[in-house]
Amino acid sequence: MPFARTSQYLKVRDRSSYAFALVSVATVLDLDQRGLIKQARIALGGVAHKPWRVPDAERLLVGQSADEAAYRRVADAILNGARPYPGNAFKVELARRSIVRALATTAELTS
């Protein structure tokens, strides 16, 4: 995947001394010269028994401007139907914010 040169990994932990992430997000974006998204990959960690991807949600970004509104829409699509347990329901909002942050940082790297 040639566009993987522009990627970001965000690990959110309670403390830096903890090895395990509450939520982690890996993102890859490919932007054209106008700042429109040509391809995107987003993987979440710490939210399921394996890394979590939703390719249909990633495709929602194709052709969109690389902006916060698009990142929020894709975050909502990725987390649609999330079924947290009572003790970890906070992770849904944490994941949403982390997705937006990781995508914004990745887009900045491409500029």
Instruction: Please say if the pLDDT value at position 111 is more than 70.
Output: no
Tokens, residue 14: 């309670």
Domains, the chain, in order of start with CATH, read: 2-110 (3.30.390.50)
Residue 1: per-residue pLDDT: 54
Of 5 and 74, the structure prediction assigns the larger pLDDT to: 74
Per the model's pLDDT, the better-predicted residue between 33 and 5 turns out to be 33
Whole-angstrom distance, CA of residue 20 vs CA of residue 30: 29
The answer for 46, left when phi > 0, alpha when psi is -120 to 50, beta otherwise, is left
Query: How do residues 89-99 score in pLDDT, each as one tens digit?
Result: 999 999 999 99
CA distances from 1 to 6, 41, 47, 98, 107 (A): 11, 10, 25, 23, 17
